[in-house]
Structure 1
Amino acid sequence: MIPILRTVAEMRALARVWRKAGQTVGVVPTMGALHDGHLSLARRARRECDRVVTTIFVNPKQFNNPEDLKKYPRTEAADAALLATVPVDAIFAPGPEEVYPEGFITTVSMAGVAQPLEGHMRPGHFDGVATVVTKLFGMTLADRGYFGQKDWQQLQVVLRLVRDLNMAVEVVGCETIRETDGLAMSSRNVRLTPEGRTKAPVLYAAISAAAKDIRAGQSDRMAIREAAETMRAAGFERVEYIELRDAETLMPSDDPARPRRMLAAAWLDGVRLIDNIPV
Structure 2
Amino acid sequence: MNLALRSAAAAASVAIVALLGTGCATSAGSSSPTPSATPDPMTEICADPFVVTCERGGGFTVVVIADDAEDESVLEFAPALFTAASASPDTVTLRRPADDATTLDPEVSAPPRWEVSVEAETDAAFEAALSETLVVAAVPGTTGIVTIDGWPSVTVETLDEFDDVFSRVSSTELFRDGGTYTLQSLDEQLRIVHVPTRTTDEAIHEIIDIARSYPDAEVLLEATTSGPQYPKLYVSRLGSDQVEAVEARLRAPRLASADVDGFPLEFVLSSLDEQGTTSVSGTFGDVPAG
Question: What is the TM-score normalised by the length of structure 2?
Answer: 0.27
Higher relative contact order structure (alpha carbons within 8 Å, sequence separation ≥ 6): 1
As a proportion of its length, which structure holds more helix?
A: 1
Query: Normalising to structure 1: TM-score of the pair?
Result: 0.28
